[in-house]
């Protein structure tokens, strides 16, 4: 069984929880609690392989035992960095996160263990209020070695599901996840880190 850890990162209110809930339940419910960070778990089959997926949803508000962005980046095998196409400041935040992920992977040295990063411009249904051009998203994705998606958690389940499935597939093949599977001591310390960082707050949907 492959364990894949994915962190959904981005500015406040960009739709991180909406994307996760859409993927896990197929529903868009409009409002989501954001007072604590949590990990959602899902078992899924990708290309005939069973995966244990953990999706980390951070808390934008100050909350008890909150993990730092660096800790989240070290924990995850793959990332969805989200911005809202109708909010330029969220794109600036997403840009800083992508750069930080890449700086930290350079710190971790080996290029082949580089993390998988998907850049998502959410709220495509609000394109009449667009503040971030599609080509700007594409440019950031190219610079940050990300795959790029523009979609709407509110309107389209299929695109959200395809994006997450592709991410899980790519992350499971990435050097980072493979390295963790090869080194049991690494997974032990990773498990310890998860407990330290996230305590017992885990959810299954
Ligand atoms: N129009 C539109 N609204 C969306 C979409 N996705 C999320 N929203 C709305 O955006 C708001 C924030 O969504 P959340 O999923 O709570 O965003 P978040 O990034 O998890 O928020 P924090 O945890 O507070 O940072 C909610 O009112 C959602 O209904 C979308 O695709 N289109």
Query: pLDDT tens, 35-62?
Result: 778 899 999 999 999 999 999 999 877 7
- A 10 A CB-CB count for 163 gives 18
ipTM value for the complex = 0.99
Taking the C-alpha atoms of residue 148 and residue 177, their distance in angstroms, rounded to an integer, is 21
Residue with CA at minimum distance from ligand 1 atom 13: 15
Q: Of ligand 1's atoms, which has the minimum distance to the CA of residue 152? A: 31
> If you average pLDDT over residues 5-9, what whole number do you get?
96
CB 140 within 8 A of CB 104: no
Q: How many CA atoms within 13 Å lie on the side-chain side of 43?
A: 4
154 lines ligand 1 (CB under 6 A): yes
Q: Is the CB of 126 under 6 A from ligand 1?
A: yes
This prediction has a pTM of: 0.86
Q: What is the mean pLDDT of residues 15-44?
A: 90
Return the best residue to mutate from 13, 122, 157 for the ligand 1 pocket (most ligand atoms within 8 A of CB).
Answer: 13
Give the Å distance between the CA of 154 and the centre of ligand 1.
9
Distance from the alpha carbon of residue 97 to the mean position of ligand 1, in angstroms: 19
> Got the DSSP string for 166-185?
HHHHHHHHSHHHHHHHH-HH
pLDDT surpasses 60 at 183: no
> Which range is least confidently modeled, 86-95, 108-117, 155-164?
108-117
Exposure of 25 in the CB half-sphere (CA atoms within 13 A): 12
- 105-142 pLDDT, tens digit per residue, is 765 554 556 789 999 999 999 999 999 999 999 999 99
CA of 183 to the centre of ligand 1 (A): 38
């Amino acid at each position: 069984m492959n364990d894949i850890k994915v962190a959904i990162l981005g500015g406040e209110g960009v739709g991180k929880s909406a994307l996760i809930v859409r993927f896990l339940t197929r529903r868009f419910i409009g409002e989501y609690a954001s007072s604590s960070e949590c990990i959602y778990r899902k078992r899924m089959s990708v290309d005939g392989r069973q995966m244990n997926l953990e999706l980390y949803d951070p808390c934008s508000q100050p909350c008890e035992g909150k993990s730092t962005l660096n800790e989240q980046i070290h924990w995850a095998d793959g990332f969805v960095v989200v911005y809202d196409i109708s909010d330029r400041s969220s794109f600036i935040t997403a840009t800083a996160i992508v750069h930080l992920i890449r700086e930290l992977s350079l710190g971790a040295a080996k290029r082949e263990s580089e993390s998988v990063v998907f850049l998502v411009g959410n709220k495509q249904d609000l394109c009449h209020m667009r503040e971030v051009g599609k080509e700007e998203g594409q440019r950031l994705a190219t610079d940050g070695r990300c795959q790029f998606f523009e979609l709407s958690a509110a309107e389209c389940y299929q695109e959200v599901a395809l994006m997450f499935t592709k991410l899980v597939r790519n992350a499971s093949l990435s050097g980072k996840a493979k390295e963790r599977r090869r080194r049991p001591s690494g997974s032990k310390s990773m498990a310890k880190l998860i407990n330290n960082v996230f305590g017992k707050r885990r959810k299954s949907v």
